Amino acid sequence: MKYYGYFRSSAAYRLRIAFGLKGLAPDFIPVHLTRDGGQQKAAAYRDVNPQALVPALITDDGDVLTQSPAILEWLDETHPEPPLLPADPIDRAHVRALAQVICCDIHPLQNLRVLQYLRKEYAQDQAGVEAWCRIWLGEGLSACEALVARGGTHRFCFGDTPGLADVCLVPQLFSADRFGVDLSAMPRLRAIRAECETLPAFAAAHPSRQPDTEA
């Protein structure tokens, strides 16, 4: 198994955490998102992923998988221990919903291609781009705080073992820090992150500790 990623991509960061939790160590192929005009836009990479986004995963049988949430579900179906999703359908729906607040309604709005559009078409400078990111991060993470609180108090988002929601949350909180989002009204999310950071799978997946990490 091998995967294409980039140290700072929060979608690739999700996969790294899941690989660690599952005890997997696939080969890593770096795709530099800003070098060479964006290596993800090269024809060779578009043959892997027509969306020109990271991550992508190549299975041992040569199947090409894209979209990190789909890859995470595939990982959980093919490497079921420890599970990323609970057994009960209602519990699974709550875990997936939190993951999707992040994967659908927060992360795509701060994707590099979108921020480049804001700069080029709307003449936004760094401050303008960061203000945009803070809006969607702040709204989305506030909703996450409410959804997690609704599920009761646990060590992690929805239980006492880490799962799909945590795998998506921690990388998004890393982005939130980068863009200066105020997390003071999100005590549950901060406590969950602190729990996650004690686990080797989360620590090893941090963007500061990858083969392609840059200052």
Q: Kindly list the residues in this chain that would bind a copy of itself in the complex (CB under 8 A).
A: 50-51, 53, 59, 61, 63-67, 69-71, 73-74, 77-78, 89-90, 92-94, 96-97, 99-101, 103-105, 107-109, 111, 113-114, 117-118, 121-122, 124, 132, 135, 139-140, 142-143, 146-147, 150
Residue 207 Cβ vs a copy of itself, minimum distance, rounded to whole Å = 20
Answer for the pair 158, 86: CB distance below 8 angstroms, yes or no: yes
> Tokens 């980039």 correspond to what residue?
6
CB closer to a copy of itself, 70 vs 194: 70
Residue 91 Cβ vs a copy of itself, minimum distance, rounded to whole Å = 10
CB closer to a copy of itself, 12 vs 199: 12
CB closer to a copy of itself, 64 vs 194: 64
Q: Rounded to 10 degrees, what is the CA torsion of 149, 135, 6, 158?
A: 10
Query: What is the C-alpha to C-alpha distance for residues 1 and 28, in angstroms, rounded to an integer?
Result: 9
φ/ψ of 30, rounded to 5, equals: -70, 140
**Could you give the C-alpha distances from 26 to 5, 18, 77, 202, in angstroms and in order?**
12, 11, 17, 16
Residue 137 Cβ vs a copy of itself, minimum distance, rounded to whole Å = 13
CB closer to a copy of itself, 4 vs 132: 132
CB closer to a copy of itself, 104 vs 194: 104
φ/ψ of 146, rounded to 5, equals: -65, -40
Query: What is the C-alpha to C-alpha distance for residues 60 and 57, in angstroms, rounded to an integer?
Result: 10
